Structures are given as C-alpha cells and as structure tokens.
Amino acid sequence: MRELLLNWYAKHGRDLPWRHTTDPYAILVSEIMLQQTQVDRVVPRYLAWLERWPTVETLAAASTADVIVAWQGLGYNRRALNLQRAARAVAEGGWPDDLTELPGVGPYTAGAVGNFAFGRDVLPVDVNIRRIQERTGEQFDGSCTQALFDLGATICLARIPRCEICPLAANCPSRGRRYEPERKQSQFEGSFRQRRAVALRAIAAGEAAGDDEAVASLAKDGLVVVTPDGPKLPE
C-alpha cells in the first residue's frame, strides 16, 4: 500500500507553498494556521504572514497587537498569541528537541514540524490519517504523511469515499462502504466565539466593544488588556 500511495502522490499531490521549504518556522506557521481552517483560506494568509515576518526573530520582535490584527479571519485568535510566544522562545533558546515544550505546540504539531523540517520519521496523525489507517488497516510511516493528507482530503472522504479512483482500493477491506456523518463543529453564527470575534475586531479598530462578558473572556486569554481607558490590544 505504501508504494501505491507514494506513486499516486507523485502524480496527484497538491502544490502547496509550505511543501517547498524545510524551514521549521515556516512549517510551524502553516501548521498553526491549518488547524481547523481550510487550505484554500490559509494559502494567501500564509504567504502574506511570511512576507511580513519571514523569520522567528522578526515575529518575536513584532508588536503583539499587530500579530493579533494580522490573524483576524483565521479563527481561534489564541493561536496567534501562542505562535508568537513560540517564536520568542525559539529566538531566545533555539528549537528544543521536544517541540511540545513550545507554547501551543501539541503532539500532532510537534510531529508535523519534526517530520517536515527536521526529517524525523514520525507520522503526525490527524483526522484524515486516522480515518485512512482505520479503513485500510495499514500502519504507514512518516514518509507517507503528505500523501495521506491529500488522499484523506480529496479521495478517502469522511462520509462517501471515492473508492473508484482510490489508489489503495484494490487492497482496502473497507472499499465501497458509506459512513454516518461525523460530529460537526458547533456553529459559529450566534455563538460566544462570534461575540468574542466581534468584540476583538471592535477593540482592534479603536471602537467600543459593548460586550463586557466577551471582553472579560478575551482578557483572560491575553488577547486584550483592560485599562482605565477601556480594553486595548496588548503591546
């Protein structure tokens, strides 16, 4: 299966900008941005981010307010704070052997950066990869990671996999099966997450947030600072 998968990827793999670098900082940026955000939305934001802050040192030295503003629209703004905190940790002490020591970096992200930047034979298992492994019964190694990402995103889909064009179908015990819908992420519209986003945009624009509960939540996460003159973005 590994050989079939890699041959398929050589012909059909997606051309994504973070696949043209082994810079751990650039790869970390892409992985943090890709968390719960569609690839098509991430690509232009990733390119713009690296144009503005091309190195760990430039992001570490940036204003946190500028970082938060630049992140707007990518969701889960705490990721922007953690990304800058990680950059500052690396700028001060270098890349640790255990990447989970960096703020906001869990086992999956550590595995991805370790694989793509440092050449470690680790398979960072996300939802797509776990689904393929469960359906095929195959345990893949780290060299298959990008191929598995693409197979899961374009062919081995959650509900109705496209088995008729899958390179692994001939040997897959789950060929032809259909699946129940996976649990959906809670709706953003009308949620407290949306209220936080609206309040943060208002504060970034120098306007009144008008939502004390959302502001308190943002302040708890370090996304705003409450001053006698009202909430502001951190310096």
More confident residue, 156 or 210: 156
Question: What confidence score (pLDDT) does residue 202 get?
Answer: 87
User: Structural domain boundaries of the chain?
Assistant: 1-13+125-185, 23-118, 192-232
**Confidence band, pLDDT 50/70/90 cuts, at residue 173:** very high
- pTM as predicted: 0.87
CA 2, CA 29: separation in Å to the nearest integer? Answer: 28
Q: What is the H or E stretch that residue 92 is in?
A: helix 78-93
The pLDDT of residue 182: 65
Check residue 141 and give its pLDDT: 96
State mean pLDDT over 84-96.
98
Q: Which residue has the higher pLDDT, 52 or 232?
A: 52
Of the candidates 3, 31, 101, 164, the residue annotated as catalytic is 31
Q: Any idea which fold 1-13+125-185 has?
A: Endonuclease Iii, domain 2 (1.10.1670)
Structure tokens at 229: 């003159």
Tell me what pLDDT residue 190 has. 73
Q: How confident is the model at residue 11 (pLDDT cuts 50, 70, 90)?
A: very high
Q: Which CATH number does 23-118 carry?
A: 1.10.340.30
pLDDT tens digits for range 178-217 = 887 666 656 777 788 888 888 898 898 888 888 889 889 9
User: pLDDT value at position 51?
Assistant: 98
pLDDT reported for residue 178: 86
Res 197: pLDDT: 85
Q: What is the pLDDT of residue 209?
A: 82
Range with lowest mean pLDDT among 35-44, 82-91, 145-154, 179-188: 179-188
Instruction: Kindly report, residue by residue over 44-85, the tens digit of the pLDDT.
Output: 999 999 999 999 999 999 999 999 999 998 988 999 999 999
pLDDT at residue 195, as a whole number = 86
Question: Positive or negative CA dihedral for 210, 215, 216, 217?
Answer: positive
Average confidence score pLDDT of the chain: 93
Identify whether 189 is a catalytic site residue. Answer: no
Does the pLDDT of residue 164 top 90, yes or no? yes
Half-sphere exposure of 204 (CA within 13 A, CB side): 20
Interatomic CA distance for residues 60 and 90, integer angstroms: 9
Contact predicate 16/29, CB 8 Å: no
pLDDT on residue 183: 62
Residue 175: is its pLDDT beyond 80? Answer: yes
Distance, in Å, from the CA atom of 113 to the CA atom of 105, rounded to the nearest integer, reads 10
Q: Is the pLDDT of residue 36 over 90?
A: no
**What is residue 5's predicted lDDT score, i.e. its pLDDT?**
97
